[in-house]
Amino acid sequence: MSKRETPPADGKAGLPLSPEEALALALFVFLAGRGGAGKTLLLRWIVERAIAAGRLLVIADGDRTNRSLPLFLDGVLTPNGADDATVWRWLEAIITRMVADLQPRPRSRRRRPGA
Protein backbone atom coordinates (compact mmCIF):
# COMPACT_ATOMS: atom_id res chain seq x y z
CA MET A 1 0.00 0.00 0.00
CA SER A 2 1.42 3.38 -0.94
CA LYS A 3 1.45 6.26 1.52
CA ARG A 4 -1.52 7.78 -0.35
CA GLU A 5 -3.56 4.61 0.04
CA THR A 6 -2.89 4.18 3.76
CA PRO A 7 -6.19 4.45 5.63
CA PRO A 8 -6.51 7.00 8.43
CA ALA A 9 -5.58 5.85 11.93
CA ASP A 10 -9.20 6.10 13.11
CA GLY A 11 -10.24 3.49 10.50
CA LYS A 12 -13.15 5.62 9.26
CA ALA A 13 -12.04 6.03 5.64
CA GLY A 14 -15.17 6.04 3.50
CA LEU A 15 -17.51 5.23 6.38
CA PRO A 16 -20.62 7.32 7.01
CA LEU A 17 -20.51 9.85 9.80
CA SER A 18 -22.30 9.25 13.05
CA PRO A 19 -25.35 11.47 13.62
CA GLU A 20 -23.34 13.55 16.12
CA GLU A 21 -20.50 14.07 13.63
CA ALA A 22 -22.92 14.91 10.83
CA LEU A 23 -24.73 17.51 12.96
CA ALA A 24 -21.42 19.17 13.78
CA LEU A 25 -20.61 19.74 10.11
CA ALA A 26 -21.34 23.06 8.49
CA LEU A 27 -22.03 22.69 4.78
CA PHE A 28 -22.51 25.08 1.92
CA VAL A 29 -24.23 23.48 -1.08
CA PHE A 30 -24.09 25.41 -4.33
CA LEU A 31 -25.68 23.98 -7.47
CA ALA A 32 -25.21 25.53 -10.90
CA GLY A 33 -25.89 24.46 -14.46
CA ARG A 34 -28.46 24.52 -17.17
CA GLY A 35 -32.12 24.00 -16.49
CA GLY A 36 -33.76 20.60 -16.46
CA ALA A 37 -30.83 18.76 -14.89
CA GLY A 38 -32.56 18.05 -11.57
CA LYS A 39 -30.88 20.67 -9.37
CA THR A 40 -34.12 21.75 -7.69
CA LEU A 41 -35.17 18.16 -7.08
CA LEU A 42 -31.78 17.34 -5.52
CA LEU A 43 -31.81 20.48 -3.38
CA ARG A 44 -35.35 19.78 -2.16
CA TRP A 45 -34.23 16.28 -1.15
CA ILE A 46 -31.16 17.66 0.67
CA VAL A 47 -33.27 20.28 2.49
CA GLU A 48 -35.92 17.77 3.53
CA ARG A 49 -33.26 15.40 4.89
CA ALA A 50 -31.52 18.25 6.73
CA ILE A 51 -34.79 19.44 8.29
CA ALA A 52 -35.63 15.88 9.37
CA ALA A 53 -32.19 15.66 11.00
CA GLY A 54 -32.78 18.90 12.94
CA ARG A 55 -30.18 20.93 11.02
CA LEU A 56 -30.31 24.72 10.94
CA LEU A 57 -30.57 25.90 7.35
CA VAL A 58 -30.15 28.98 5.23
CA ILE A 59 -31.91 28.32 1.94
CA ALA A 60 -31.22 30.73 -0.90
CA ASP A 61 -32.24 30.71 -4.56
CA GLY A 62 -30.07 32.91 -6.76
CA ASP A 63 -31.43 31.71 -10.09
CA ARG A 64 -31.87 34.86 -12.18
CA THR A 65 -34.55 33.50 -14.51
CA ASN A 66 -36.38 30.61 -12.81
CA ARG A 67 -36.52 30.82 -9.01
CA SER A 68 -38.41 27.65 -8.24
CA LEU A 69 -37.26 26.78 -4.71
CA PRO A 70 -39.69 29.29 -3.10
CA LEU A 71 -42.53 27.37 -4.80
CA PHE A 72 -41.65 24.27 -2.77
CA LEU A 73 -39.99 25.55 0.40
CA ASP A 74 -40.76 28.24 2.96
CA GLY A 75 -38.26 30.89 4.02
CA VAL A 76 -36.15 30.84 0.85
CA LEU A 77 -33.95 33.93 0.43
CA THR A 78 -33.88 35.53 -3.03
CA PRO A 79 -32.02 38.57 -4.38
CA ASN A 80 -33.86 41.83 -5.07
CA GLY A 81 -32.80 41.85 -8.71
CA ALA A 82 -31.81 39.57 -11.55
CA ASP A 83 -28.72 41.33 -12.91
CA ASP A 84 -25.34 39.69 -12.39
CA ALA A 85 -23.95 42.36 -10.05
CA THR A 86 -26.99 42.28 -7.75
CA VAL A 87 -27.02 38.48 -7.53
CA TRP A 88 -23.25 38.32 -6.86
CA ARG A 89 -23.43 40.97 -4.09
CA TRP A 90 -26.41 39.18 -2.56
CA LEU A 91 -24.66 35.80 -2.64
CA GLU A 92 -21.44 37.27 -1.25
CA ALA A 93 -23.39 38.84 1.64
CA ILE A 94 -25.05 35.51 2.48
CA ILE A 95 -21.77 33.57 2.40
CA THR A 96 -19.97 36.24 4.44
CA ARG A 97 -22.70 36.14 7.08
CA MET A 98 -22.68 32.33 7.22
CA VAL A 99 -18.89 32.22 7.63
CA ALA A 100 -19.02 34.91 10.33
CA ASP A 101 -21.71 32.98 12.19
CA LEU A 102 -19.49 29.88 12.21
CA GLN A 103 -16.55 31.63 13.84
CA PRO A 104 -16.12 30.88 17.53
CA ARG A 105 -17.13 33.79 19.68
CA PRO A 106 -14.59 35.02 22.22
CA ARG A 107 -15.72 34.10 25.68
CA SER A 108 -15.98 36.98 28.07
CA ARG A 109 -13.91 36.50 31.15
CA ARG A 110 -16.07 36.93 34.18
CA ARG A 111 -14.38 38.16 37.24
CA ARG A 112 -15.06 36.05 40.26
CA PRO A 113 -16.12 37.92 43.34
CA GLY A 114 -13.10 38.64 45.46
CA ALA A 115 -10.68 37.96 42.61
- Cα distances (Å, whole numbers) of residue 53 to 9, 16, 50, 57, 68: 28, 15, 5, 11, 24
Q: Can you give the pTM of this predicted structure?
A: 0.61
Higher pLDDT, 93 or 69: 93
User: Does residue 114 lie in a domain region?
Assistant: no
User: Does residue 17 lie in a domain region?
Assistant: no
Across the range 58-69, mean pLDDT stands at 84
User: Does residue 70 lie in a domain region?
Assistant: yes
Quickly state the pLDDT bin for 58 (edges 50, 70, 90).
confident
Alpha-helical runs (H) found in the chain: 19-24, 39-52, 69-72, 84-102
Q: What was the pLDDT predicted at 51?
A: 86
Across the range 16-23, mean pLDDT stands at 60
**In the predicted model, what is the mean pLDDT of the chain?**
75
User: Does residue 38 lie in a domain region?
Assistant: yes
**Domain hosting residue 51, numbered range:** 24-102
Q: What was the pLDDT predicted at 93?
A: 92
User: Does residue 55 lie in a domain region?
Assistant: yes
User: Does residue 3 lie in a domain region?
Assistant: no
User: Does residue 18 lie in a domain region?
Assistant: no
In this predicted structure, the answer to whether residue 2 has a pLDDT above a threshold of 50 is no
User: Does residue 19 lie in a domain region?
Assistant: no
Q: What was the pLDDT predicted at 1?
A: 44
Count of domains forming the chain? 1
Higher pLDDT, 31 or 86: 86
